[in-house]
Structure 1
Amino acid sequence: MARASAPAVELEVAGRTVRISSPTKVYFADRGLTKLDVVQYFLSVGDGILRALKDRPTTLERWPGGFFEGATLSTRADHRGDAFYSKRVPQGAPDFVESVAITFPSGRPADEVCPTELAVVAWAANLGTLRFHPWPVTSADVDHPDQLRIDLDPQPGTDFSDAASVAPRLREVLQEFGMDGHPKTSGGRGLHVYVPIEPNATFVQARRAVIALGRELERRMPEAVTTSWWKEERGERIFVDFNQMARDRTMASAYSVRPNSRATVSAPLTWDEVPLVGPEDFDVLSMPARFAEVGDLHAGLDGPRYDIAPLLELSERDERDRGLGDLPYPPEYPKMPGEPKRVQPSRDTDRHREAPGDVERADH
């Protein structure tokens, strides 16, 4: 006989009542964590998670069965996974869950969850949301990013420590262009750096700015950094994933929970902490005490915003003086103006006939 689930509980969240169904359902068996534990974790870092999501279109990564060994996330090609992305407001959402209209690269529109208060986070966690994926825009202007998001992604043979060793040089480059960033762990092996910017550039321009940053970093650390979109060319280096700045490509927010046996979380860091920590240092059990001690280290994202014009000038110089134009978009995207061929180099039979500067540039 199946064991009856525990009755639902109601939590008071900033003046709202949020119902938590099956509160004792195990979400992370190795850590002994239940659904209610996960909801209460998010509430314990409430100011931080809400700052990361507030007024932003947000995709929900839902794991309704929790994490277990062998669990998989559904993909565009295979929908049979145990978890899935929710890019539209789920049916039956309470009235306090607001939405914002966004447009995917395909041109299709959608009404996506747009958190405005902490109760929305608790409601989403009750649906099994472990990772929140906010767009780098606000509901006030969904077409112009207000953040550059730089993903230092370790490739096979490298790990978090390698990404951490690149971070100081990235900060150096940013500062030379009159900017500074805010680092965080990804919850896994990677390192993310967010830069608050004036919302006066398109997604295309913001992506080109990140490409320019990545190329400059690659020039300074050629043995450690790559901007090659093709895995066969990356080697054992840190990949600056510029396509994370493309429309509808998002990173898990600060304080999101990674679906792994340890229940690690994405933790904002100071620059001084970057070389001293590892992703395993921050999880659902340890983060509440850290948050109570240091607060939200990403609060500075609400501070001064930078103009990306100098990075766009660097991008133009790269193209004019070095023949370095655009780089490929992800395969599911429509072909973009000025984009090179999306052909794996080892399969590009006429690559030797195409010089880097041969691709026609489009003005954006």
Structure 2
Amino acid sequence: MAGTSGAGLDTYNEKRDFTQTREPRGRKAAKAGRSFVIQKHAATRLHYDLRLEMDGVLKSWAVTKGPSLVAGEKRLAVHVEDHPLDYGGFEGTIPKGNYGAGAVIVWDRGDWVPIDGDYAKGKLEFELKGEKLGGRWHLVRMRGRRGEKRENWLLIKSEDEAARPGDAADILSERPESVKTGRTVEEVAEGAEEKPKPAKPKPGRTRKADEKAPAPRAKKAPMPDFIEPALATLKPAPPTGSKWLHEVKFDGYRLQARLDGQTVRLLTRSGLDWTDRFGAEVTDALRALPAESAIMDGELVVESGAGSSDFSALQADLSEGRKDRFVFYVFDLMYLNGYDLREAPLIERKGVLEELVGTEPGRVRFSSHFGESGSMVLRHACRLSLEGIISKEADAPYRSGRGKGWIKSKCSDRQEFVVAGYVPSTTSDKLIGSLVLGVFEGGALVHVGRVGTGFSQKIAGELRARLEGMRIEKSPFAGKLTADEARGVRFVRPDLVAEVEFRAWTADGLLRHASFRGLREDKAAAEVVRESGPSKVGEPKPQKRRVTLTHPDRIYWPDEGITKEGLADYYAEVWPKIAPFIVGRPLALLRCPGGINGQKFFQKHAWNGISKHISQVKDPGKKAEEAMVAINDLDGLMALVQSAALEIHPWGSTVADWDHPDTITMDLDPGEGVAWEAVVAGAHEVRQRLADAGLEAFVKTSGGKGLHVVAPLKPKADWPAVKAFTKALAGAMAADDPEAYVATITKSRRKGRILIDYLRNQRGMTAVAAYSTRARPGAAVSMPVAWEELDQIGPAYFTVLNTPGRLAALDRDPWEDFHAAARPLEVKPPRRR
């Protein structure tokens, strides 16, 4: 087991003014012991600091929610600077204005015993012998994302006699007191009401120096009124050069946070006070920041998937009155404690902001930036289906209004449009079917098409009720609509603004494959113009759909608002990618005529009234059986959409050769309590074992909880041979590591383990196709990914809504060589290692 040199105590000392705080000075100890301490720390955010003695220092982690005695429950542990051994006995209050200000108690202490692993390699198993905590524990380092400064670990309790069931009392609530003095952290804080003694100036510093401005060119000034926000100019590509830094573009509401004493206000970009819309949790977090007064620029979001912001989810939460998922990311600081910072360089403002907000996750978070090539940052953002990036001049002051110092680069076409009318739903007289949209050009409203997907059922109903009260008789468009454009439209006053994502503009200036993202009530309709979007030069156009959809506005995914039309648009976009995996194969379909919340049934045989575009094929091994289904072209896929097939599960062989599979699929299905990192590790293990057998492995998300590792085969071996091989592989993994893997489906054996499901690899069995949707909330799809992407996503990260943008941004398809990589299965079943 490796430790570090203890040089981290330099960082500890640099962060503290020991004339202000009673924390011990950082000195490395000569003794070698195994003490541990957990300190409860009521700083900006309440957390618990786990400290393990190694090599004369206390290796330290900030456990945001505190340790849990429930076996398998994971708690985020952010690695922080080393602390001196003397810190293990520290209890008291760190004065306001100092690093980590707040009350501290010694919540637990004792000894720890290493069992397995290596701290330096990011995996440590150990036993705690404390006054409150005991038994075996794990610390596991998570792989960091590019540009991420903090080092995230997971603290996990092992299954042993010291573990508690999930419904047992929480040790944190049961035993809140200090093991050193018996006081709670609140009592320590209450006993520290006396002001600290006046600080003596540090050596070499004068009192005047201690009162210097927080950043270069900051000016002492009264708190200004509302500051008009800085706005980015849209460009097709990010700027180049070292003078630029790049931030992720958030997908939420731009807000200005104003902290003045105990008063917190959240203002929109036009100065509207929306404080009450977002509840007390965000404002309480802002109020808790160590500042008397501040003005911050940021974006309020709801995060979904693997941490990406989602404007549709934000809209849905606001509609439902839900406020527990709001997060406010701050990216600029214009005023702080009597100083106007707008003339200070951006990089300095962000440095002060990061110190103010901290790096721990909470309701208010610092938006970090990247100094790498802007084009590289944009490619990475687009591959992860983010909205885009904002590039900013690092040395520039804060300038209100739209300028050239902030550049916006998008991953897909997306902008605001004026709502000028609607078409009623064909399935309900209480819903809208589509919105009719326009933009202003020279003061005149110009028609740009419709959007008919992306509305949740609730939003569709609310829009119908709202727009009914805004109806007008005459078209608000300057030009006359064609008969097709005007058919079924009910015109409304052009007052509302909708944000819409779309694939491109058609030759006649209309939207193609548009999806509603939400209303922008923070923006005025008169400001909406046609924006120049990303270049589409060289982008292949999707094949034209010829199959007529009945009731195209029928909602299949109610919460996401994805309609039959939206699903057809999705499959038209991904057709070149999905076709090799579903064409000419027997298919099993999960059909959901009423959407994901209605009746569901698997269908592998032809049915009465089946479309002529769906092929009927006979299994030569079962001559008396009724016909099965297959498709040969895009028309066949559109017929599946019309038939409400929300999942497509192909055989691992083709109708040209039913008995010799050309694909192996190993399904990694995690049981309860299994971390995503463990699933990723299991996929790499399967990959290596397949490589040992001479096969190349590819990976995709299942669209559910796990991963599919897929290997292409030259169709030489028959089904019994392939099943024997995959069964032996799964059995070998389960035998080599029975704590991590099982090869049997029995649910009682799967808790805390990953099922290596090999049963997809036998005649008549199927696995969900690459790019197929899943009939589950969230509208996830089974997405082929590169191996190195696995630690940047989650199991249901890619959806119907974000997949087309991802595919457009890829420099190279991670499965581009899938079919060329096919090898014959010529080896004996793998042995145990």
**Who is 1:169 aligned against?**
685
Query: Is it true that 1:179 corresponds to 2:605 in the alignment?
Result: no
Query: Is it true that 1:188 corresponds to 2:704 in the alignment?
Result: yes
Q: Report if aligned partners of 1:136, 1:148 keep a CA contact under 8 Å in 2.
A: yes
Cα separation, 2, equivalents of 1:222 and 1:107: 42
Using the TM superposition, name which of 198-207 and 152-161 deviates more: 152-161
**Who is 2:600 aligned against?**
83
**Who is 2:429 aligned against?**
3
**Who is 1:23 aligned against?**
552
- Write the letter of the residue equivalent to 1:303: A
Cα separation, 2, equivalents of 1:206 and 1:219: 20
Q: Report if aligned partners of 1:151, 1:242 keep a CA contact under 8 Å in 2.
A: yes
The Cα shift of 1:159 comes to 4.8
1:236-259 per-residue CA deviation (whole Å, 9 max, x = no partner) reads 211111212122221111111112
RMSD of aligned C-alpha atoms?
Answer: 2.9
Query: Is it true that 1:301 corresponds to 2:830 in the alignment?
Result: no
The Cα shift of 1:212 comes to 1.6
Cα separation, 2, equivalents of 1:271 and 1:59: 28
Cα separation, 1, equivalents of 2:706 and 2:668: 6
Q: Report if aligned partners of 1:13, 1:119 keep a CA contact under 8 Å in 2.
A: no
Which consecutive unaligned segments of at least 5 residues does structure 1 have?
72-81, 323-364
- Write the letter of the residue equivalent to 2:824: D
Give the alignment partner of residue 262 of structure 1, picking from 767, 778, 798: 778
Q: Report if aligned partners of 1:89, 1:99 keep a CA contact under 8 Å in 2.
A: yes
**Who is 1:67 aligned against?**
596
**Who is 2:610 aligned against?**
93
Q: Report if aligned partners of 2:671, 2:753 keep a CA contact under 8 Å in 1.
A: yes
**Who is 2:808 aligned against?**
292
Cα separation, 1, equivalents of 2:741 and 2:553: 45
Cα separation, 2, equivalents of 1:166 and 1:2: 47
**3-state secondary structure, aligned to 2:791:** helix
**Who is 1:158 aligned against?**
674
- Write the letter of the residue equivalent to 1:3: D
Q: Which one has a bigger Cα radius of gyration? A: 2
Cα separation, 1, equivalents of 2:677 and 2:703: 13
Cα separation, 1, equivalents of 2:822 and 2:626: 29
Q: Report if aligned partners of 1:13, 1:118 keep a CA contact under 8 Å in 2.
A: no
**Who is 2:585 aligned against?**
56
**3-state secondary structure, aligned to 1:222:** coil
The Cα shift of 1:204 comes to 1.7
Q: Report if aligned partners of 1:160, 1:191 keep a CA contact under 8 Å in 2.
A: no
Cα separation, 2, equivalents of 1:152 and 1:225: 9
Q: 1:95 to 1:280 in 2, by over 3 A?
A: closer
1:266-324 per-residue CA deviation (whole Å, 9 max, x = no partner) reads 110111112221123201110011122226533433213222221xx236x67xxx9xx
- Write the letter of the residue equivalent to 1:300: D
Query: Is it true that 1:33 corresponds to 2:562 in the alignment?
Result: yes
Cα separation, 2, equivalents of 1:221 and 1:180: 23
Query: Is it true that 1:275 corresponds to 2:791 in the alignment?
Result: yes
**Who is 1:130 aligned against?**
646
Q: 1:280 to 1:96 in 2, by over 3 A?
A: closer
Q: 1:300 to 1:110 in 2, by over 3 A?
A: farther
Cα separation, 1, equivalents of 2:756 and 2:573: 32
1:35-85 per-residue CA deviation (whole Å, 9 max, x = no partner) reads 1011111111111121210111111211111123xx4xxxxxxxxxx0111
- Write the letter of the residue equivalent to 1:265: V
Query: Is it true that 1:45 corresponds to 2:471 in the alignment?
Result: no
Using the TM superposition, name which of 262-271 and 220-229 deviates more: 220-229
In the superposition, the TM-score normalised over structure 2's length comes to 0.34
- Write the letter of the residue equivalent to 2:763: R
Q: Report if aligned partners of 1:197, 1:305 keep a CA contact under 8 Å in 2.
A: yes
Cα separation, 2, equivalents of 1:225 and 1:197: 25
Q: Report if aligned partners of 2:542, 2:573 keep a CA contact under 8 Å in 1.
A: no
In the superposition, the TM-score normalised over structure 1's length comes to 0.75
Cα separation, 2, equivalents of 1:35 and 1:54: 21
- Write the letter of the residue equivalent to 1:167: A
**Who is 1:197 aligned against?**
713
Query: Is it true that 1:314 corresponds to 2:819 in the alignment?
Result: no
Between the two proteins, what is the percent identity of the paired residues?
30
Q: Which has the higher contact order (CA 8 A, sep 6+)?
A: 1
- Write the letter of the residue equivalent to 1:216: A
Cα separation, 1, equivalents of 2:428 and 2:731: 57
| TM alignment of 1:214-253, pairs within 5 A | 214-253=730-769
- Write the letter of the residue equivalent to 1:35: K
> Whose helix proportion is higher, 1 or 2?
1
The Cα shift of 1:231 comes to 2.8
- Write the letter of the residue equivalent to 1:62: R
Count of aligned positions:
302
The Cα shift of 1:172 comes to 1.4
Q: Report if aligned partners of 2:545, 2:638 keep a CA contact under 8 Å in 1.
A: no
Cα separation, 2, equivalents of 1:168 and 1:300: 19
Cα separation, 1, equivalents of 2:815 and 2:616: 24
- Write the letter of the residue equivalent to 1:89: A
The Cα shift of 1:98 comes to 2.2
Cα separation, 1, equivalents of 2:626 and 2:676: 35
Which consecutive unaligned segments of at least 5 residues does structure 2 have?
1-426, 435-483, 485-512, 514-540
Give the alignment partner of residue 659 of structure 2, picking from 127, 137, 143: 143
Q: 1:126 to 1:4 in 2, by over 3 A?
A: farther
1:215-245 per-residue CA deviation (whole Å, 9 max, x = no partner) reads 2323443321111343333342111112121
Q: Report if aligned partners of 2:574, 2:771 keep a CA contact under 8 Å in 1.
A: yes
